[in-house]
Amino acid sequence: MSDSTNNGPVLAADGTPLKRSLRRSLRLQKFRALLLIAPLLAFILITFIAPIADMLFRSVENKIVEETLPQTIALIDAGGPIETIVPNQKVFSALYVDMFVAAENKEHTRLGTRLNYEQSGISSLFRKSGRRVARLDVEVYKKQFEEVDPQWADVATWQSLAESANSAELLPRAMWAYNAWRDYVRADGDNPDKEAPEDFIYVALYDDLIALDDVTSANDLIRKSADAAPDFETVNFKEAFVKFDKDWASENVWKTLRTYSTPYTEGYFLNAIDFQKDFDGYSLRPDNQRIYGVLFMRTLFMSLVITACAVLLGYPIAWLMANRPMREANLLMIMVLLPFWTSLLVRTSAWKVMLQQQGVINDTLVWLNLVDEAGRLVLINNQFGTIVAMTHILLPFMVLPLYSVMRTIPESYTRAAKSLGATNWTAFWRVYFPQSVPGIGAGSILVFILSIGYYITPEIVGGTTGTFISNRIAYHISSSLNWGLAAALGTILLAVVLLLYWVYDRIVGIDNVKLGG
């Protein structure tokens, strides 16, 4: 055989180099494996990753202020700090245009609700102003523009301006107002090309023309109108809004608007840790408003207590199941799993019946003369009731991992220890227990993670002192509709769980956790 044959690449059966053929085969195998897991991967992305990503985004998203009042916010931020907190007529004129469009689109109430989270009373302020702004008479602007040039009354004039790129630079507010008007007219099922532009558009046009410094690039119509605009009769929008509601003259309202005018905010996270963001910076909330720190600490403490109770109660049960004949072990397993066949709501309600002052437990204690009628124990609507009910509900999640690990521990180990002189306790503590620790770890993680996010049981039996942070999250999602704060609380809770998981991994080692085998 020649040297060239010996030193040449190894070929596959089809004549291609073997290395290339192997790489292609490996790629095909990986592609087939990816296709097999693709449905599961898509399911996880849609039901797990996407909701978490949406929660993280909602916890900082704050675009509603900027999107609802774009012209007002632009004026407030354009030149940095303004001389006074309550702005001048120019800003109130822009506020009128923004509020008119927002009221037509039914967006002003959503904005009021958002700002009401930061300052009580703003929601009613925006609702009231939204109703009254449409009744404000501003026809004087339109009449004066028509007197300058009748073309302003023709919708074709506005159409041509909207199609011109130059107009968007010269008349940004008027073009925004015109396009917003076209959008909500279409939404109502009408044709804006056959409708006369509404009066508020001319208010925006007037503001644009007054602000123009150079009209050399404008057409004759705009130049002529810009020259005449300074002599127009105008409406005092600041005075009008203060008549709507005197709170428009309040510094607190405008401080809140300016503070939360950015598209993204850390305000939700600050609220979630009992801080607040205001016009002057960050500060701790008053004592009577600090609730979330207490709830987080209570949630962690009670979750740890529930986990410890589950270990203390579940370990003997699992040991008994693992060391009894299979028939008896199966019977005990059925008894452990029996609560899963009953509704969670029914189990929690049963504990409410048993623990109340006129319930089964108190009646039994009175019957046994252990307590008198006037001294019935308060076992419900407190932390004790939550711990008892949740320990019962989560106990199977501790027993099952423990049993699966204990079942794999050979009985001969303890017998060998006893034959070498160890007592029953020494054989258990030095030989059996260390081998069951992975089951304790697996059950503890499972119970702790489940308990820290529970909200149905604490809501029913917890009262005011036994509720978790999850109950507050559920309240903000379903009742107050403050989804941003709920997302921030959920994000912090997720971060706490991940941190505790990391600490557990560093101390115990997640590799030591197993479910048997």
Average pLDDT over the chain reads 88
| Structure tokens, 101 | 């469009």
Contact 392, 473 (CB under 8 A): no
- Sign, CA dihedral 184-188-189-193, equals negative
**Which among 277, 285, 282, 283 is positioned nearest to 259, based on CA atoms?**
277
494-501, long-range: CB < 8 A, 24+ apart: 494/52, 496/296, 496/300, 496/452, 497/449, 497/452, 500/448, 501/445
- Sign, CA dihedral 485-486-490-491, equals negative
What is the reported pLDDT for 1?
41
What is the reported pLDDT for 342?
86
| Structure tokens, 43 | 């399911």
Q: What is the pLDDT of residues 7-28, one digit of tens each?
A: 667 666 666 777 777 788 888 8
Q: What is the pLDDT of residues 451-495, one digit of tens each?
A: 998 888 999 998 888 889 999 999 998 888 899 999 999 999 989
C-alpha span between 398 and 448 (Å, rounded)? 10
What is the reported pLDDT for 12?
63
Contact 178, 197 (CB under 8 A): yes
Name the more confident of 80 and 88.
Answer: 88
Strand partners, 277: 282
Three-class SS of 241-288: HHHHCHHHHCHHHHHHHHHCCCCECCHHHHHHCCEEEECCEEEECCHH
Residue 285 confidence class, pLDDT cut points 50, 70, 90: confident
Name the more confident of 445 and 218.
Answer: 445
Name the more confident of 373 and 448.
Answer: 448
Share of the chain above pLDDT 70, in %: 94
Residue 47 confidence class, pLDDT cut points 50, 70, 90: confident
Q: What is the pLDDT of residues 202-237, one digit of tens each?
A: 999 999 999 888 777 778 888 888 888 899 999 999
Question: What structural domains and CATH numbers belong to the chain?
Answer: 15-58 (no CATH), 68-266+276-284 (no CATH), 292-512 (1.10.3720.10)
Q: What is the pLDDT of residues 321-359, one digit of tens each?
A: 998 888 888 898 899 888 888 888 889 989 998 999 888
What is the reported pLDDT for 492?
92
C-alpha span between 178 and 188 (Å, rounded)? 16
Residues in the chain: 517
Q: Is the pLDDT of residue 39 over 60?
A: yes
- Sign, CA dihedral 318-324-325-331, equals negative
Q: Is the pLDDT of residue 2 over 50?
A: no
Dihedral of the alpha carbons of 72, 76, 77, 80, in degrees to the nearest 10? 170
Q: Is the pLDDT of residue 301 over 50?
A: yes
Q: Is the pLDDT of residue 517 over 80?
A: no
* Mean pLDDT value across residues 287-294: 88
pTM over 0.75: yes
Q: Is the pLDDT of residue 4 over 50?
A: no
Token pair 């199977």 is found at 396
Give Cβ neighbours of residue 89 (< 8 Å, ≥ 6 apart): 236, 237, 238
Q: Is the pLDDT of residue 511 over 70?
A: no
Q: Is the pLDDT of residue 82 over 70?
A: no
- DSSP 8-state code for residue 10: P
Residue 3 confidence class, pLDDT cut points 50, 70, 90: very low
Half-sphere exposure of 251 toward its Cβ, with a 13 Å CA cutoff?
A: 7
